[in-house]
Amino acid sequence: MITERAPAKLNLALEVLGRRPDGYHDLATVFQTVDLCDDLTFERVERADQLSLHGDLATPDNLILRAARALHPNNAARITLSKRIPIAAGLGGGSSDAAATLRALSRLWRTQAALPPLAASLGADIPFLLLGGTAFATGIGHLLERLPDPPTRWTILYTPFDAPPDKTTRAYRALLPSAYSDGTATRVIAAALRRGEWPDLSHAPNAFESVADELFPGLVAARRRLSQAGAPWARLTGAGPTLFSLVEDRGTAAAILARLSAPERSWIAATLPATLRNG
């Protein structure tokens, strides 16, 4: 049996550069993994053609099963998923589960498949989540420059309400060309991290901030609540609705979380170094 953790991701900055001819969008973003994780186990089974998923969100079209079949269409395993990362929250939980599946089953099945191309075929965030840590990403989010692991910071994550599964599609549809930018602000943040410094993220760009309040009624109140709890700032990750803030020590993060008083909707998590060094 193999046990694998699937960490959540943050977008420390996220700029949309424009719409591509294929309908996707070019991005400039800085990814960071944190230790709010889903847990997965992978076990050998007797029947050579039996691939099954158990536990939370065990649906036939789950991205975990799609990742397993992309790695090998006929191999067998029993996969069990325990969810902690909220779904459709901007934290990349489903993508991270798929990345963990590729990592684990490549060992269980002893395959020689190149994982990054498989990951890219399944989703734009998945190549980064194969590796974790800190990275500057361009293209649709799949072209990665690894950045040094910065000093550990503690993040307060607040997902104030559930979002529909198609919220990212809705967010892109709602974006106006005026929300597009050239990626300069994100490159400045990446440059600071490249030097081993944490940049000031209080005004870090996220193109989806321009439509988030319209898409998620109540987000303004959620920001206010996080600020009143003592968070130094609140930014959106991905297309939301999760808000996050970073502080230097766990005690400060725990105090903010306690004042927020939303135990079913908030977490503290440390930033994580890379999972794989050699992709």
pLDDT tens per residue across span 132-170: 999 999 999 999 999 999 999 999 999 999 999 899 999
pLDDT tens digit sequence for 229-268: 999 999 999 999 999 999 999 999 999 999 999 999 999 9
Distance separating alpha carbons of residues 208 and 229, to the nearest angstrom? 24
| In a domain? residue 278 | no
CATH number, domain of 232, equals 3.30.230.10
Torsion angle, alpha carbons of 251, 203, 34, 215, to 10? 110
| In a domain? residue 227 | yes
Model confidence at 109, pLDDT cuts 50, 70, 90, reads very high
User: Which domain range does residue 245 map to?
Assistant: 2-270
Reply yes or no on whether the pLDDT at 279 is more than 60: no
| In a domain? residue 210 | yes
| In a domain? residue 172 | yes
**Of the candidates 270, 210, 278, the residue with the CA atom closest to the CA atom of residue 240:** 210
Asked if 9 is an active-site residue, the reply is yes
State in Å, rounded, how far the first CA of the chain is from the last one. 22
Model confidence at 89, pLDDT cuts 50, 70, 90, reads very high
Tell me, what's the pLDDT at 112? 85
| In a domain? residue 275 | no
Reply yes or no on whether the pLDDT at 278 is more than 70: no
Catalytic residue among 22, 125, 182, 213: 125
Tell me, what's the pLDDT at 277? 41
Average pLDDT, the chain: 94
CB atoms inside a 10 Å sphere around CB 117: 11
Distance separating alpha carbons of residues 14 and 29, to the nearest angstrom? 4
User: What is the value of pTM for the model shown?
Assistant: 0.94
**Of the candidates 241, 239, 208, the residue with the CA atom closest to the CA atom of residue 222:** 241
| In a domain? residue 277 | no
Two tokens at 62? 């789950």
CB atoms inside a 10 Å sphere around CB 69: 12
pLDDT tens digit sequence for 19-61: 999 989 999 999 999 999 999 999 998 776 689 999 877 676 7
Tell me, what's the pLDDT at 46? 79
Chain centroid offset of residue 167 CA: 15
Catalytic residue among 9, 38, 97, 167: 9
| In a domain? residue 109 | yes
Q: Which amino acid is at 213?
A: D
Distance separating alpha carbons of residues 143 and 155, to the nearest angstrom? 25
> What b/e readout covers 242-252, taking b as 16+ CB neighbours within 10 angstroms?
bbbbbbeeeeb
> For the chain, what is the domain count?
1
| In a domain? residue 74 | yes
Q: What is the mean pLDDT of residues 68-76?
A: 93
